[in-house]
Amino acid sequence: MNWKLAARAERMNPSIIREILKVTEKPGIISFAGGLPSPKTFPIAAFAKACADVLAKDGQAALQYAASEGFPALREFVANELAKQSAAAGVPWAIDPAQVLITTGSQQALDLIAKILIDKDSRVLVETPAYLGALQAFTPMEPQYVSIASDDEGVLIDDVKSKIYPVRPELVEGQASASTSSARTDGKARFIYVIPNYQNPTGRSMSEARRAALSQAAREAGLPIIEDNPYGDLWFDAPPPASLTARNPDGGIYMGSFSKTLAPGLRLGFLVAPKALYPKLLQAKQAADLHTPSFNQRLVAEVLKDGFLDRHVPTIRALYKSQCEAMLAALARELAGTGITWNQPTGGMFLWVKLPAHMNSVDLLPKAVERNVAFVPGAAFYADHPQHNTLRLSFVTASVEQINIGIAALAAVLKAAL
Ligand SMILES: Cc1ncc(COP(=O)(O)O)c(C=O)c1O
């Protein structure tokens, strides 16, 4: 059969990272490439008990079709937890559980947002670099990406302000296909997508001042903020400043996930949307998968009752902090004075390395794999104009001993290429 693919399917690409991970699946390799949480942190005993309890108490409902919005107890938990965190960060945020949509991973939330907010040629503002999975979710809707210049704290506010509207008239949305619905707008960006806490891929975080400035600029311009926060609970010494959405709840959509605090295999995430937008997201959700698995939602609601996260998440923070410190110490030991630089994450799973401008981390990966160590070349994470002299390291799946061996091997490859 000669299949004629839809234009949007032609635009889909295999995840470069998944392709890279195949190379790194060689036995014995120390991989800093994956984006996986440490399996040591999965609370298996708590889930074993909750499975039995849910099936005994509520087995029929847990195995039945359910409401697209999500399991009420879980929606309530999310609303309360976010309100609690926000109040503690000094920005009260009153969330009605009716604004919470449980999604099949926060990755699905990105897909639903893309479907309801992006037309062909819609301008979408993204960080430099950006989360690859978001680019994959948005790309089939055929947006025009607008990369915002970013520093160690994320997007630069002046650059955001200058790019909300197109500069060149030929980029005005709708000109390419004036008969389509995209002609409805004037080319104003549909939203800005940001990860304020321990960003994937860089591990960087937005300061309070940057958050306040972005929130104010977005509010003044009427620019929606799509805030993705799967890593916010994984802080090392102090919680991050208040969320962007809490500062202007009508001006954005907030996304969170249970992947990094419980287990990613559950595929449980959520979004919080303004009431006016919620019905469209819900319709997109219904079309996508009717609802997120009822059993998983009840299981997690059961595990979470009685303050489980307050006991469990500190153990993840302590583990990741010790692994991050080991990686930073190893990098300092092996690479001081070489001109290679890296950041100092204050939470999350990743750190970001910058090589001298002439170096290309894609070329160095096979050499690293030969020495049994792997990373992700940074170029994969740019919506446009990739910076080839960057790379992402995950510090959470390797032990401290493996980190020491792996960073020494990586440093040998980098120094040989200097
Ligand atoms: C920034 C970001 N957003 C969303 C996701 C998707 O997470 P999940 O679908 O497991 O909730 C990830 C996964 O790594 C991520 O790094």
pLDDT tier at 13, thresholds 50, 70, 90: confident
Which of 338, 391, 385 has its CA nearest to residue 363? 391
User: Exposed, middle or buried, 4 (CB in 10 Å: 0-12/13-18/19+)?
Assistant: exposed
Give the pLDDT of residue 172.
53
Distance (Å) from CA 108 to ligand 1 centroid: 9
What residues form DSSP beta bridges with 126?
147, 193
Instruction: Calculate the average pLDDT of the chain.
Output: 94
Inter-CA distances, 201 with 34, 249, 375, 415, Å = 11, 26, 12, 23
Residue 407 to residue 392: CA distance in whole angstroms: 13
Tell me the per-residue pLDDT of 89-138, one tens digit each, with 9 for 90 and over.
999 999 999 999 999 999 999 999 999 999 999 999 999 999 999 999 99
Q: What percent of the chain has pLDDT over 90?
A: 89
168 pLDDT more than 80: no
Per-domain boundaries in the chain: 7-42+310-417, 45-308
Helix then strand then coil, % of the chain, to nearest 5: 50, 15, 40
Residue nearest ligand 1's atom 16 by CA: 200
Residue 257 to residue 229: CA distance in whole angstroms: 8
- What number does the ligand 1 atom closest to the CA of 131 have? 1
Measured in whole angstroms, how far is the alpha carbon of residue 160 from the centre of its chain?
A: 20
Inter-CA distances, 208 with 60, 125, 192, 339, 374, Å = 47, 21, 18, 30, 34
Tokens 């937005």 found at: 206
Which CATH number is 7-42+310-417 given?
Answer: 3.90.1150.10
pLDDT tier at 170, thresholds 50, 70, 90: low
SS3 274: coil
Residue nearest ligand 1's atom 14 by CA: 35
Tokens of 293: 């698995």
> Who lines ligand 1 at CB under 6 A?
35, 105-107, 131, 133, 195, 200, 228, 230, 257, 259, 264, 269
The preferred substitution site among 107, 132, 198, 227 for testing ligand 1, maximizing ligand atoms within 8 Å of CB, is: 107
Which of 340, 341, 330, 327 has its CA nearest to residue 396? 327
Tell me the per-residue pLDDT of 231-260, one tens digit each, with 9 for 90 and over.
999 999 999 999 999 999 999 999 999 999
Distance (Å) from CA 203 to ligand 1 centroid: 13
Distance (Å) from CA 223 to ligand 1 centroid: 23
Give the pLDDT of residue 169.
56
- What number does the ligand 1 atom closest to the CA of 258 have? 11
- What number does the ligand 1 atom closest to the CA of 199 have? 1
Tell me the per-residue pLDDT of 177-209, one tens digit each, with 9 for 90 and over.
444 444 345 799 999 999 999 999 999 999 999
Instruction: Please name the fold of domain 45-308.
Output: Aspartate Aminotransferase; domain 2 (3.40.640)
Tell me the per-residue pLDDT of 64-76, one tens digit each, with 9 for 90 and over.
999 999 999 999 9
Alpha helices for 63-118 (secondary structure H): 72-88, 105-117
